[in-house]
Amino acid sequence: MSEVVLNGASVSAAEAASRSTVLRRLRLTDLIFHGLTRTAALLVLALLSGVIIALVIGAAPAMGTFGFSFLFDQSWNPVTEKFGALAPIYGTLVTSAIAMLIAVPVGLMVAFFLTELCPMVLRRPIGIAIELLAGIPSIIYGIWGLFVFAPFLQRYIQPFLIDAFSGVPILSTLFEGPPYGIGMLTAGLILAIMVLPFVTSISRDVFEAVPPVLKEAAYGVGCTTWEVFRYVVLPFTRVGVIGGFMLGLGRALGETMAVTFVIGNAHHVSASLFAPGTTISASIANEFTEAVGDLYTSSLIALGLILFFITFCVLAMARYMLMRIQKRVG
């Protein structure tokens, strides 16, 4: 029987051939795997590039007709074919800001309560209830907001806010006008409820990753619960918290159906949060099927391109913030 030396050991020729076959098969499998992963990555880039190119081509007639004034004009008149994106942009930013101002503090407090203060018997039911909020379809939020939440705001909350802030600088402007029930404030509150599960779930997961020894050491030197949360938990989990914030903001910027039900769908810019308004996604959803003429359709596609650009800027800013934090940490 012939023998060969393989890695310093003497083996038979048949065994050496078998090992060589196995190595070739593993090498081929590895090459195929690398090719599939590379193809998947390139496919994502190709899809993203295709979306951008399609939006740019579709928005070209509107941008060529109106130029940069399209971004700063609030008029929207399909009859005279005079279109401007200021009102949808304003509504998108305002409602998203209201949602994040409410959802982020509440989500962080709920997450810390579930990880540190909540009794074990209640921790799982509360966590499941919060996660179920993320599974409710947006149209259900919209119907509930229109028929239940908006009348409640119109009857109780909005009149109270009007009376409470009457005569107060800035706040009297934000909370003035007739209490319609629907409007940008209502849309922002609905978005806050929809965003809350995402912020809470991600924050709870990163809070649970904090080493117990850090919190025990802080409590050992006399820190209060607030001080442990402020100086130990948040600094240790800031990257994850920012990630949850950006995920919630992305959801708020692109939400369509729930906002469409409660925002009023008026192409108008008003300083009052009670006034009806519109967002980019709501405008596209409401008017795309009724768009007659190339310029009308192109203007709606241009709104989509603007929303894409806003989302891209938000994600880029988030990445920049994370890079700064990681660089400062070392």
Residue 19 pLDDT: 76
Final residue before a domain boundary, out of 21, 40, 66: 66
Closest by CA position to 210, among listed 225, 226, 191, 232: 232
Same domain? For 159 and 192 the reply is yes
- The CATH number linked to 266 is 1.10.3720.10
Nearest 5 degrees, angle CA 66-CA 261-CA 84?
Answer: 10
Nearest 5 degrees, angle CA 224-CA 236-CA 135?
Answer: 95
pTM score = 0.86
* Neighbour count for residue 61 (Cβ, 10 Å): 18
Q: Which residues contact 206 (CB under 8 A, 6 or more apart)?
A: 237, 239, 240, 241, 244
Residue 7 pLDDT: 53
Final residue before a domain boundary, out of 12, 41, 66: 66
**On the CB side of 138, how many CA atoms lie within 13 Å of its CA?**
17
Q: Which domain holds residue 49?
A: 3-66
- How many domains is the chain built from? 2
- Helix or strand run (H / E) with residue 4: strand 3-6
Q: Do 135 and 233 form a contact (C-beta atoms < 8 A)?
A: no
Closest by CA position to 86, among listed 290, 280, 261: 280
Closest by CA position to 268, among listed 76, 52, 48: 76
| Each residue's pLDDT expressed in tens, for the chain with a length of 330 residues | 455 454 555 556 667 677 778 888 888 889 999 999 999 999 999 999 999 999 999 999 999 999 889 999 888 988 888 999 999 999 999 999 999 999 999 999 999 999 888 888 888 888 888 888 888 899 999 999 999 999 999 999 999 999 999 888 889 899 988 888 999 999 999 999 999 998 998 899 889 888 889 888 998 998 888 999 989 998 888 888 888 888 888 889 988 899 999 999 889 899 999 999 999 999 999 998 888 888 999 999 999 999 999 988 888 887 777 777 667 655
Nearest 5 degrees, angle CA 81-CA 259-CA 79?
Answer: 10
Cα 21 to Cα 77: distance, rounded to the nearest angstrom: 72
Same domain? For 122 and 48 the reply is no
SS3 content of the chain, % helix, strand, coil (to 5): 75, 5, 20
Same domain? For 48 and 78 the reply is no
Residue 236 pLDDT: 87
Same domain? For 80 and 58 the reply is no
- Helix or strand run (H / E) with residue 285: helix 280-287
Same domain? For 100 and 7 the reply is no
Closest by CA position to 196, among listed 115, 101, 282, 274: 101
Q: Which residues contact 151 (CB under 8 A, 6 or more apart)?
A: 181
Same domain? For 38 and 94 the reply is no
Q: Do 183 and 263 form a contact (C-beta atoms < 8 A)?
A: yes
Same domain? For 62 and 76 the reply is no
Furthest C-alpha separation in the chain: 103
Same domain? For 12 and 129 the reply is no
Final residue before a domain boundary, out of 17, 39, 66: 66
pLDDT of 183-226, one tens digit each?
Answer: 999 999 999 999 999 899 889 988 988 888 988 899 899 888 89
- Output DSSP code: residue 115: I
Same domain? For 141 and 54 the reply is no
Residue 1 pLDDT: 46
- Helix or strand run (H / E) with residue 11: strand 9-12
Same domain? For 61 and 89 the reply is no
Cα 202 to Cα 247: distance, rounded to the nearest angstrom: 9
Same domain? For 137 and 42 the reply is no
Q: Do 255 and 194 form a contact (C-beta atoms < 8 A)?
A: yes
Q: Measured in whole angstroms, how far is the alpha carbon of residue 144 from the centre of its chain?
A: 21
Same domain? For 239 and 118 the reply is yes
